[in-house]
Every structure is written in C-alpha cells, then in structure tokens.
A and B are shown apart, each in its own frame.
Chain A
Amino acid sequence: MKDMSSKRPKSKEANKKKTKDKSNADNLPKPEEAVASEPGHPEYIFPLVLTSVSQELFSCRADEDVTAENPHKLLKKQDIIQDLRHRAAVCDFSPVKQAVLDYPEDELLLVFDRDFTYGQSFYLVLTVQAKESILKPPAEGADEQMEDEEQQEEEEEMMMKTPEPQPWVSLGSEQEIQDQSLSESRPRLRYSVCPLGRRSGTRVRFSDRNALDWKEELVECSSYEDKSFSITRMERDSSTQTCRDNTHTCTQTLWKKPKNMWSQYEPREFSSEEKQHQLQSENLKNFITSVARRFEIYLQQNLIADVFCDDWTALCEDDASLMGKTETQLKEYQSFMDLHFSKEKTISHVQWHPSISGVIVVSMMERLSLEERIDSSTKLLLNPSHILFWSFSDPINPQLQLECPDDVLCFQFSPSDHNIIAGGCMNGQVVLWDISAHVDRLQDTRSGGKNILNKLGKSDATPVVRYCAVSGIENGHKAPITDIQWLPETFEVNKLGTPVENQSRTSVQLVTCAPDCCVLFWDLRAPRVMVHSLTDIKQKQEEKPLENPHGVPNTFTHLNLTWKPFIRVSLPKISSSGEYSPLKFSMRENTVDYNTGDKSVSGADSHVFAQLRMQSAKQQKPLQNISTKLYIATEDGELVYTDWKVEKDNDSGRMLSAKPLDVFLLQDTLLHTVSRSPFFRDIILTVGRFSFSIWREGLTCGPLLMSVYSKSMFSAGHWSRSRPAVLFMGREDGDVEVWDLLQNSRQPSHTQNISTAAISSIRTQTSSAKQNLLAVSDRLGTLHILQIPGSLRRSSSSERQNVEKYFEKEEERLQYFEKRQSDHQKKKKETEAEQQKKKTELVTPPKQEEEVDAETLKEYQQFLTLEKLILKDMNIQNETQQTCNTINTP
C-alpha cells in the first residue's frame, strides 16, 4: 500500500492517516468508501459549521450553490480574511484563522460534507496538496498524492510512449528493511578473562586427561531435547505415484539350440501297387541281373570256409585230448588215517566242508556185519562212534570230533548254515550237531601252518562236540538211515507235501530214507503249540525243560528226543503188494524266483530254530514249478520214480501216498547210488553192483546209457563237477575208474588203484574254484585225497553241447526202438487179424461158374477202356512232338 502523503514518513500515525486519506480521496463518487474509524479528522481537514449568513456571504449555500454532486467551493483567501476582520469572533472561520493566514495560496477549498463525515456540514481543506487531491482525484487508485501535478501530467503525457525506466525512488520500503535488519546500536564489548596469579609468558605444558576418570571436575553440557525448540512439521511434502499391481510373469530363456527331445516317426513304405510298379521297371531288372552273380559267389564263399575263425584258439581246445597218459594219473595228495579212532572202522560217508576249503569230514562206522553187531552190542555202546573233521594242515590229528549216539551212515551240512550238520544213524535216529562254537578253530587251521606259536599254545586234544538233538526213537525210522538230504532254502513243504514258500529263507527241512520202506520229512522248527486242555498246560508246566549237558549249544533243545517227522511217504509197489525199500534217493534241483527285496523274516535269528515256527496253512503260499518227484534206488535193484505228495484218504482219514509213477528193474542186486548230474538237471546216474546207467528224467523207455556188466563190482559212483562227461567210479578191489562218456562209453578211460580195500565213497571238492581234489575213502578207514589232472579238470567249451547231443541221440535211439517195438506190435496184431480173416473166408462156399464168367468179362471190358485211354494220351503226345519238330527244323 502506498501512502498518499508522506510528510512524516517515520511516524506510524501518518501511516494510518494515509490509509484514511486514500479512502477519503476516493470519497467523491462513492460515499460508501468513507472510512470513519477515527472520531478525529486529518489535520488538513477542518470541519466547519457555516451559518446561513456565512453561506450567503460566500455563496455556498447548502444545497443551492454546493450540492452533493458539486461539493467543492473555492473561496478566496482575501474574502475569508475580510470576513474575519469584519466579524472577528462571530466568523465561522475564526478557529482556522491562523491556518488561513498561513495558507500559501489564494484560494481555499471548502467542501460540502453532506454526509457529515467529519462531523460538520462543511470542511475546509487546509493544505494545498489536499486541495489538489480533492479537486483532482488521481486517475489510479493506488497512486500516491506525493506525486505532483507535474507527475500526473507527465503520466498522462507518457501514456502514449513506452515507459522508460525511472530512477528508483524510495517509497518507504527502506524503512521496513531497516527495521527488520539488525544494526549495531552500540560498539561491541570485549572482555578478556584471565585467572588471577597466572604468570604470563611461562611455558605451558598440556597433557591429556581422560574425561571419564575425572568426572567430578567436569561439567557436562550434554545436549538434550528441548521441546520448546522442537519444530513440529505441520506440513510435509509427499508425493504418490501410481503403479501397477504385482504381477507374476515368467519368461523363457533363449533357446539357442533347438533340439528335439524325441520324435515319433514312421518309416515310409510303398503301397503294393507302387511296389509292383517298381518291380516292373527296367532298371531294377538290370540291376538285379548284374548283382546276382556277385551275390551268389559271396554267399557260397561263406559256406566253403569260415574266414574269421581263429585257428589258434580252436587248436588249444583239442590239446587236452592229445596229452599222454601221464596226465591222466590221479596223484596222491594226502591221506588221512586216524590211529585212535579208525582202527577196525570204515568210512561210511565223506563230505567236503562246503565253505572252508581244506577241511573234509568223515563219518566212521564199525566194520561189522549184523551178526557181529548183535554179538558185540555191549562193546559198541561203550565205544561211541564219531564224525571226524580233517584239515590238510594237520594230517595226524583230526580238528574236530562229533559224537554220535550210534554209527552214522550218512550226514549232510545244512546248505544255508554250514555249522549245522544232520546225520542219520544206524538205529534210525536223526541227529543234529551245531558246531558254531568251533568254527574258528577250523578256519584257523587253514592258515595254521604260518602261526606255529599259536599251534603250540592250543591244546592238542581234539574237541569233542556232542550232538544237539536226536529224534525220538519211536518216531523215526526202524532201519538204519541210509540217505539224508536237506531241502534247499528256497522252499519248504507243508503237511500235504505241496511245496510252499519258505519265509525264513533257511533250510529247515530234511528228508531221510531207510530200508524200512518209507521216506520221512523232518522239520527243524518247533511244532505249532496247540493247547487243548488245562491238563496239557499243567503237564507242560510241570515238566522241566531238559537242559543240555555242558558245552552243547541249545540250538535244538526243542527237538531233543521229541522230534517227529511230519510227512511219511510210503512206497507201495505198483503191481504187487508190498513196498519198496529205498536205499538212496535223489531230488530234482529246484530254483524258485523270489523278489530280491524280500528279506528273510528273521535275519540274524535264523540260528535260533527254537523261535522259528511252522507256518499255519493259511500263511503258506504254494509254489509252482517245483518238482516234487523223487528217484529212489531200492535194495532190490529197482529205480522208483515217485511223487512225495501225500493225499488224505477219505475212508480212513490217514495220509496216503500215491503209487509210484514208474519203476525200472535194473538188476537183482541193490542199487547203491542215485545222483544227478551237476550240469544237467534231468540226467541221473544210478550205480548198482555190476553196472551203472544213466537216465533222463521223464523218459520211461529205459536208460540212455547202460554200462557193460563188469566182473568186479562197483561200490561208488560220482559225477565230475568240472566236466560234464566224466564219471568217477569206485570198485570193490580198490580201483578208481575215470569214465569219459564222449571218448568211450564202454570202458573207462583211466583206471588207477588207490587202496587194497573197496572204495566206499568218492567226493569232489565243491568249496574251492579249482576243483582239483578228489576224496576217496575206503573200507579200511583211510581217506585218500587225490589230485585231478588238468585234462580231467578243464572242460572244453563245446563239451557240454557235445554231451547234450550225445544224450539226445541216445534218447532218439530209445524212442526209435520204442516206436519200432510198437509198430512191430501193431503189425503182429494185423497179421494175426488177417490170419483170422483168412480162416473165416475159407468157410464161404465156392462161387458158380456163370458168375465167374461175368466177372471175367467185366474185367476184360475195363481193360479195353483203359487201353484206349492210354493210346489216346500217347497219340496226343506224338502229335505235339511232331509239330515241335517241324518248327525247330530250320
């Protein structure tokens, strides 16, 4: 706001009045703009009351000379002064006398104040500027009165021209700035403060002082938040920006090398029409004719000679057969004879230890006939018989002795646990041993030669192991057990004889046979306990469990003396009544597929047979593909082929076994060996006294091979495990014969005398891979270990095939013979029938002559027609020939 009159620019009152002046100056057209906040009036305005006389005198009568529209009246100064002289105190202008006299100009302005803005009806303007401003109100409202008329005129003149910059004229803003600015009102004061007593000019030594240590001498002026100085933000600039919602997108990386993962395609083929079309093309014909010759040459080349066969490798296979006789000798490696135990005893059974190499097990038996046994029965009871473990490292002392209740005729290691041995005794009992405690000793002996010190430390006495369990005498066989075999761990047999799955994957069942005409199946597990009544429970509680004597493991205490077979297979004769009395039997080797993921139910506890239980019939899973047929060699020289499954007889309720499927009568003397070939599952060797024969299972015509009857008797027979065509035979005169079926099937390829007594058994080593040792035991009680020469050990690659072919040929021969026989039979029948017919024909009466004539005539007619036909054919041929001849002649 600019001030109108700034005569006193430094006073604030003037400022206020200036604002008032401005409003008053604009009062002329608009009386509403009048601001009458102050009761007073500006100094240059003097409100007057003019009487009517004065009004007439000065010709400013209200509402006549001066009106609202024209309120200004200029009065001359001289007139006012004259009036003052005339009327002095009565004059209305007396209060302003002095101001009028001081008025510089001649005319004063009198304004008719109709609205009484200053309190009176008239007011007198005392200053020139005011008068000017009132008389000529400024054109712009904000212009200041300070400007002179000159300026206004200048402004009016300059409106046509562009305004030129004017020199700055202070309009009072300097005062404002100066008010706001800080200026020193007085010179600054200076003080110097120094402590009293300080000597100025001396050296001052400064040192550090830790502020924390001298807290008492410190005054801290720490900063603190003074609320009075805190500035609260009343306003804050903030901005917002819109953005999209979160989205999930994904993108695929650049696939720089596009490659097909897989593609499915079909081969292009021609339809049959296209093929025909192609076949008929000329090009094809030319091609084929040109190529065919070459093809034929090459095809025939292949047949003439095999270009790619390696002569060197083929050569060495035949090497073995060309070797001299020295190679076929069985060299004696070692022989075992025990001085303490083997006197007057024979070896009844020999077995190599299945896992520990170099250990062989021998069962000793008294060399007495039945009468002698009865006579010296008391003596026999005092001298128990033993099973001896021999090791190659110690030929004098056996490593282990197994005590038997009676003479053991045969024994076997369990195939799943090589520490369990089952044996069959003379009295019909089945015996079980557990040698797990002594296995270490057996294994040490293998490397015993190296540790001499250890050997000396050990006691020299061979440990004696007592049997763990014995079957009950009433329940077992009634004759000496001649053969015992374990069922493999792959399957087991239930009460009816059907093979079922073996959950425990260990061998738990045995099969024994004896000349008492039955084959028994035994189970190692405790029978399922069925408690029928309270009395039974009481009885069981009262009975104390038998404790084994010291040193005997408790593996089979549950079986001891109470062991019973669970299947009894009897062998009724086919044609006649009675039964067969088995000596040996042979089962087919059966393999069962189990999932490899199935672990045995009781892994580590397989030793604890007491805890294994026989399965209930529901749990058992029957297995197919297991052959349940047995080949049995009997005392009477028969080979019986039977099934071990029993059926329940509805009438009597007992289990009965079916009649055997086949019986072959071989000889009159007993058959003492039945064994299967290790290479072919269905080839069986039977050895009797005077001959041996080879059979194929299922072939009922006869044996594939039957050896010549020999003078000296066979006492033992064994397949070779490394060569499919080799058999070892033992004779009564102590010879061991090697038969090679591919070389000569009529006589042995090699004979060697081992001992003076009869050979009781021959066994080949199964545990080591070399397979070069043969164990031969004789009736004197000596065990000979022989080395098999290389030629008998190593089989050529095609030997197996050759042996198979040989057997097949034999089979064909047998079948041919059988066929011939049946044909012959038929023919025989036919001839007989014809003869019969002839006889009946002769009885018919002779025909009459007429009929005979008619018949002959008919025949003659038929002959004529036939002749004509033939001639016709011949004629035609003649014709064609003639025409051909004519054409061909040039």
Chain B
Amino acid sequence: MKEYCAATRTHGGRSTPDLSDMAEVEDTLKRIQAQHGVIGTIVVNGEGIPIRTTLDNSTSVQYAGLLHQLTMKARSAVRDIDPQNELTFLRIRSKKHEIMVAPDKEYLLIAIQNPSE
C-alpha cells in the first residue's frame, strides 16, 4: 500500500506542480480577501511591482510602490535598532482603513481592511 500511495503522490505531485501550487495560492488569497471588511489584497514582488491584485491597476500600482518603500524603510529601521531583529508585520491604521503589510525577502502581501464595519 505504501508503494501505491507513494506512486499516487508522485503522480499527483510532479506532473502538474504549478497548477496545484497556484490553486493553493489562489485559495489562500481568496480566504484573506473573503474576511470581513477587506477591501483589497495585493501581492507585490521584490521591486514593488504588483503580481496579483484584486484592486484596479492604478490603485494597486500606487499602493505597491508606496508600501514597498515604506516597508524597506521600516525593515531597515528595525535592523538598525537591533541587528538580530527583523520586521515581521506592518500595520498602518488610518481614519478610514487599516493597511496590513507582510514582508518577506522577495515578496510583499498587502491587505486593506475597513475595520469599523
């Protein structure tokens, strides 16, 4: 049975690797987007170019550019204070929304939520 299972696993894992990964990514993003009050989500690459977004193009480009710079700044601030520390999450609360940014070495995930609803 193990062999059979292994066979199925390899069969399922390698022939279409991208699709399942993508499906997972899609699922996660959809889950985040479906949370109550979330206005939009953006996935940004290391240079500030949006890869995947639920907002319109101009808005997402603007958010990506600005928040990318801010995240870099915040990350360097945290590192300067304590070189062993690193930035894990960034939340910007404004009157109307809350912007949440999860940084990574290569990517950035941005979500905008309206918490008062």
Contacts and interface: CB of A to CB of B under 8 A. Distances in A.
A284 B25 contact: yes
A275 B37 contact: no
Interface in B3-20: 18
A313 to B, nearest CB: 15
Given A291-B109, A294-B102, A306 B115 contact: yes
A632 to B, nearest CB: 43
A291 B51 CA distance: 16
Nearest to A890: B1
A357 B101 CA distance: 57
6 contacts: A267-B49, A269-B50, A284-B43, A295-B100, A295-B102, A302-B37
Nearest to B103: A291
Contacts of A282: 21
Contacts of B32: 292, 295-296, 299
A303 interface: yes
Majority secondary structure of chain A interface residues (helix, strand, loop or mixed): helix
Contact of B113 (A270, A283, A292, A302): A302
Contacts of B18: 280
A268 B104 CA distance: 20
A267 B109 contact: no
A294 B89 contact: yes
Given A270-B49, A270-B51, A285-B25, 15 more contacts: A269-B50, A283-B107, A287-B106, A288-B24, A288-B29, A290-B104, A294-B102, A298-B89, A299-B100, A302-B98, A302-B113, A303-B36, A306-B116, A307-B93, A308-B93
Nearest to A297: B89
Contacts of A287: 104, 106-107, 109
A289 interface: yes
Interface string A510-543: 0000000000000000000000000000000000
Interface in B82-117: 88-89, 91, 93, 98, 100, 102, 104, 106-107, 109, 111, 113, 115-116
B91 A298 contact: yes
Nearest to A303: B36
B22 interface: yes
Interface of B: 1, 18, 21-22, 24-25, 28-29, 31-32, 35-38, 43, 45, 47-52, 57, 61-62, 64-65, 88-89, 91, 93, 98, 100, 102, 104, 106-107, 109, 111, 113, 115-116
Contact of B31 (A268, A269, A296): A296
Please give me the 4 A-B residue pairs with the lowest Cβ-Cβ distance, nearest first. Answer: A302-B115, A291-B102, A280-B18, A267-B61
B115 A303 contact: yes
A283 B102 contact: no
A295 B112 CA distance: 11
A298 B102 CA distance: 11
A279 interface: yes
B27 to A, nearest CB: 9
A269 B111 CA distance: 19
Contacts of B51: 270, 275, 278-279, 284
Given A269-B61, A275-B51, A298 B25 contact: no
A586 to B, nearest CB: 37
B36 to A, nearest CB: 6
A285 B107 contact: no
Contact of B21 (A268, A270, A285, A294): A285
Nearest to A267: B61
A871 to B, nearest CB: 33
Contacts of B22: 279-280
Contacts of B57: 269
Nearest to B95: A308
Interface residues of A, number: 30
A251 interface: no
A136 B25 CA distance: 139
Contacts of B21: 280, 282, 285
Interface string A842-863: 0000000000000000000000
A588 to B, nearest CB: 33
A56 B49 CA distance: 146
A300 interface: yes
A289 B24 contact: yes
A268 B45 CA distance: 11
Given A289-B28, A292-B32, A268 B49 contact: yes
Nearest to B32: A295
Nearest to B4: A887
Nearest to A308: B93
Contacts of B43: 279, 284, 288
A422 B106 CA distance: 78
A212 B112 CA distance: 106
Nearest to B36: A303
Nearest to A282: B21
A299 B113 contact: yes
Contact of B106 (A268, A283, A308, A890): A283
B73 to A, nearest CB: 19
Contacts of A289: 24, 28
Most chain A CB atoms below 10 A, which of B36, B48, B88, B107: B107
B89 A299 contact: no
A33 B2 CA distance: 153
A292 B31 CA distance: 9
B28 A292 contact: yes
Contacts of B89: 294, 298
B83 to A, nearest CB: 22
B49 to A, nearest CB: 5
Contacts of B62: 267
B86 to A, nearest CB: 13
A299 B107 contact: no
A274 to B, nearest CB: 8
Most chain A CB atoms below 10 A, which of B31, B93, B102: B102
B101 to A, nearest CB: 10
A269 B32 CA distance: 24
Interface string A252-271: 00000000000000011110
Nearest to A292: B28
Interface string A879-890: 000000000001
A458 to B, nearest CB: 57
A801 B18 CA distance: 52
Contacts of B37: 299, 302-303
A270 B88 CA distance: 26
Contacts of A275: 51-52
A288 B109 contact: yes
Nearest to B64: A267
Most chain B CB atoms below 10 A, which of A269, A279, A307, A890: A279
Nearest to B19: A280
Contacts of B52: 275, 279
A11 B38 CA distance: 139
Contacts of B111: 295, 299
Nearest to B89: A294
Nearest to B26: A279
A729 to B, nearest CB: 37
Given A275-B51, A284-B107, A308-B93, A296 B29 contact: no
B60 to A, nearest CB: 10
Given A283-B106, A300-B35, A288 B25 contact: yes
Nearest to B37: A303
Contacts of A283: 106-107
